[in-house]
Amino acid sequence: MTDKYAQLVNQGIGRNVARKLGLPRPAVLRRYRPGQALVTGPVVVQGDSAAADKLAAELLTWDLDVRRHAVPREKLGAIILVLDEVAHPEDLERPVLAAAGSLRDLDAGARVITVSRPAAEAGTPAAAAARQGVDGFLRSLAKELRAGATGNGVLLAEGVEVSSPSALAAVRFFLSGRSAFVDGQFLTVSGNGGSLPDDTGRPLAGKIAAVTGAARGIGADIARTLHRDGATVILVDLPAAGDHLAAVANEVKGTALQLDISREDAGRKIMEHAVQRHGRLDVMVHNAGITRDKLLVNMDQARWHPVININIAAQLRINEALLASEHFGPAPRIVSVASTSGIAGNRGQTNYAASKGGVMGMVRATAPLIARAGGSINAVAPGFIETEMTARIPFALREIARRANSLQQGGRPGDVAEAIAFLASDAAGGINGEVLRVCGQNMVGA
């Protein structure tokens, strides 16, 4: 689905009219293209800790123009604020105000990233206050940025250093065009697992991945993105979607598996297909989902049961089968598609929100189980994404949903796929039990 308003106000006469009338002008986002530069200009790493020095040194090996201090009126590709040693809220003043002086120099599509520690792990009330202060600061700053710039944060759990593979991978993801529609969000790196970020453009080379709901929409884009990144893809969808499924499978040179995932034996069927064709399965992407919207006062079993069954109960059954198999791995990855509806709720979607909230609960509880096998499980929670489903929303409501985020536009299926591909990669091995919102920061305070 095309956002015709965004197209209109970003070109020719429409751009001039929008300027004069003060209309919102959604920026053209800097999305990932193979072979593109990681950022568009110099990267300023600010902070006095040893971690800031380490990160700056690492970024230099990525062939970036790294600065420890900004040069006035020089266009910047990114500002990285390393705040891992803040111990009191007063410690934020100097680094934050130093960064403030460079904000006007950010280029279009620039990135602001904080690197800090989780407040829950702080040893004193003052340290917890400072760390939580970083959270509020970054989320608020993200809403102030313009021209497609975004702000996100990396949280280093106890024992994790900024030079750990997944910490560097998270920084690289937030710097890149892969995170174009991720704004005002934090990723916690909870372990030192993973591998160094891949810069070949094929971080999933050699991986065998299965994607449910892959015949169209977001699922088809997930399959395309995994294939682009080097994975061999098994595309799963209902027999009724067989023609679409076969077309996408042919496009990505994968295999099609016609299967109702609500079947009790769906997990076994997926694994059998993977083993017969490829000898194992490395990545499971739970994308399939349905809606049956109705106010709760009018809800009945015919609308409630299938949503819960397909959106979460099926994932639980499939995961149980995969985790019991010796052919899942050796470093298995599970990525589920949740929704911001499961976080903030949505009128008329009690069943859907319950199912997507369930996905997030499942991910957090499964994390320690899959970690024993050297793997990880995470979720991606999309906000308003331009799909066939959102195209059916009445015009006025659709426009409100599109503009009610920091980036003033809807996301694309590819934005969700990029986040999933990152979390499925070896580089993200130290990220486990996380829910990453791909929503353009579309909720108050989140």
Active site residues: 352
Question: What CA–CA distance (Å, rounded) separates 189 from 162?
Answer: 9
**426: how many CB neighbours lie within 10 A of its CB?**
22
What single-letter DSSP state applies at residue 267? H
Strands across the sheet with 208-212, in order? Answer: 255-258, 232-237, 208-212, 281-286, 328-337, 376-382, 435-438
Nearest CA among 216, 253, 206 for reference residue 236: 216
Structure tokens at 260: 């109702």
Question: What CA–CA distance (Å, rounded) separates 370 from 147?
Answer: 40
Q: Burial letters for 98-137: b for 16+ Cβ neighbours within 10 Å, e otherwise? A: bbeebbebbbebbbbbbbbbbbeebeeeebbbbbbbbbeb
420 alpha carbon, distance to own chain's centre: 6
3-state secondary structure of 394: coil
> Roughly how many angstroms between the first and final C-alpha of the chain, as a whole number?
26
